[in-house]
């Protein structure tokens, strides 16, 4: 990520191209290094499960459609990592804005890496 270090990081800097935006307008950016395995996400969202080997959460899918937005937002909001800010980021690929947890309240990506 070195070439990005000095720049503001936006959501589109992460992940591959993924499926067409029209089909899956949302994506997850998962700050896995901040996950401490509390499992709250898996309790509230089908898209999240605990990985037995690593003890951390993982999303079944990184790209998703409108129908799955609510549960992924819920997962992002309940995640207690990073002193409550959360390490699951739900991004609208059309605007490149973080919808949840959005601790800054302005849609900027709240990753700490």
Query: Does residue 81 interact with ligand SF4 by CB under 6 A?
Result: yes
* Range 17-76, binding ligand SF4 (CB under 6 A): 35-41, 56-57
Residue 88 · residue 101 · CB < 8 Å: yes
- The Cα 45–Cα 33 span in angstroms is 20
Residue listed under structure tokens 């800054």: 104
Nearer to ligand SF4, 5 or 112 (CB): 112
Q: DSSP state, 11? A: G
Tokens (6 digits) for 42 = 């898996």
Least distance between ligand SF4 and beta carbon 15 (Å): 17
Least distance between ligand SF4 and beta carbon 79 (Å): 3
**For binding to ligand SF4 (CB under 6 A), which residues are involved?**
35-41, 56-57, 79, 81, 87-88
């Amino acid at each position: 990520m070195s070439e990005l270090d000095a720049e503001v990081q936006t959501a589109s800097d992460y992940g591959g191209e993924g499926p067409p935006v029209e089909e899956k307008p949302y994506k997850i950016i998962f700050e896995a290094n901040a996950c401490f395995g509390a499992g709250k996400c898996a309790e509230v969202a089908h898209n999240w499960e605990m990985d037995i080997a690593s003890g951390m959460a993982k999303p079944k899918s990184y790209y998703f459609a409108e129908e799955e937005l609510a549960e992924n937002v819920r997962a992002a909001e309940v995640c207690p990592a990073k002193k409550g800010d959360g390490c699951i980021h739900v991004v609208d690929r059309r605007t490149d804005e973080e919808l949840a947890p959005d601790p800054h309240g302005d849609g900027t990506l709240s990753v700490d890496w």
